[in-house]
Amino acid sequence: MAVHRVAFLVFDGMKMLDVSGPAEVFAEANTLGARYSLRYASPSGEPVRTSIGTRLPVDSAAADLDVDTLVVSGGDPLVTEPIPSELTAAVRHLRARAHRLVSICTGSFVLAAAGLLSGHRATTHWRHAQLLARAYPDVHVEPDSLFVEDRGIFTSAGVTAGIDLALSLVERDHGADLARDVARSLVMFMQRPGGQSQFSAPLKMSVPRTPALRSVTDLIAAQPALEHSTDSLAVLVGVSPRHLTRLFSAELGTTPARFVERVRLEHAKALLDAGHSVAASARAAGFGSPETLRRIFVARLGVSPGHYRARFTATHSDPRRPRTPAGDRSRTDRTPSASLRCPGTN
């Protein structure tokens, strides 16, 4: 079996987990029969300081690497400061040598700045997806995906999604059985349910310019459980349903019905976060029935409200209820997906 050379391109301010997480996946795969060599490089060949304050030594300068898979880590400076030209130059140089190009979290901004994502589908951390789309309009950003593959370029969402992506690469290289053994060993999912939306912050609505539309959105936000049909909302502010629909489209880029659904979904998430039952959350948010809430949750977030509630309401296990480690449940009774696109939104 040939050695597969994985190189991590690092820089000052990089997220430590963006490197250590995927690297552990490849290293664990090696204990089970894979042959990955792991190397670390900076543009200059000098050590870098990570996001947690430690210094990370590197093996070489980027120009001296031979590489099969190049992994570009993310970091907060990539979205707050200009991306260094030496970093984009290093990526372009290594891209010419690498068979596979990978970015973790905001590492996608480096790829985009280097011109390597032009015309490609890509993702990044949900908090920065809109910025990536605005800054690089020729990139087709998929804000809900945990990771995306497009013509040999792989991009992932927040830091732990980089671990998911690394596992999927192991599956591509060595098959589902070895990848499943890695997942079990690291106690992780083979394919994490849902997308990024389940992790994202509450909806931040733009303030409409038109007073009538502002009155409508304020009412929906304050009392999501009311009827809120387009006709009833139009009567409330004295405009025709067609005109109200035009206002929603022009100022908010959506329809009245979709806006109501988004607000209700955010309200239901907040109630579930606070520990309310699925049935109570469905009623209070205006969905009417738990089944309607479940259908909307699965369609929009990729998980059921019950699973969402279990995942986000506590960090401890119920001592009265035996639990199985996530890795031992991870798709052991299902055929692993060959797709790198997750359903649906760290």
Host H or E run for residue 6: strand 4-9
pLDDT at 6: 98
* CA dist., res. 31 & res. 146, Å (int): 26
pLDDT at 312: 57
pLDDT at 189: 65
Residue 87's region, left for phi above 0, alpha for psi from -120 to 50, else beta, is alpha
* CA dist., res. 316 & res. 13, Å (int): 32
pLDDT at 200: 40
* CA dist., res. 276 & res. 319, Å (int): 20
Q: Which active-site residues does the annotation give?
A: 105
Contact 288, 271 (CB under 8 A): no
Host H or E run for residue 181: helix 176-186
Residue whose token pair is 């009833």: 232
Contact 145, 195 (CB under 8 A): yes
pLDDT at 48: 97
Those residues of the chain that have pLDDT short of 70 are 189-206, 311-346
Residue 66's region, left for phi above 0, alpha for psi from -120 to 50, else beta, is beta
pLDDT at 234: 92
Q: What is the pLDDT of residues 309-329, one digit of tens each?
A: 776 554 444 433 433 333 333
- 190-200 in b/e form (b: 16+ CB < 10 A) is bbbbbbbbbbb
Contact 307, 193 (CB under 8 A): yes
Which domains does the chain possess? 4-191 (3.40.50.880), 211-312 (1.10.10.60)
pTM here?
0.62
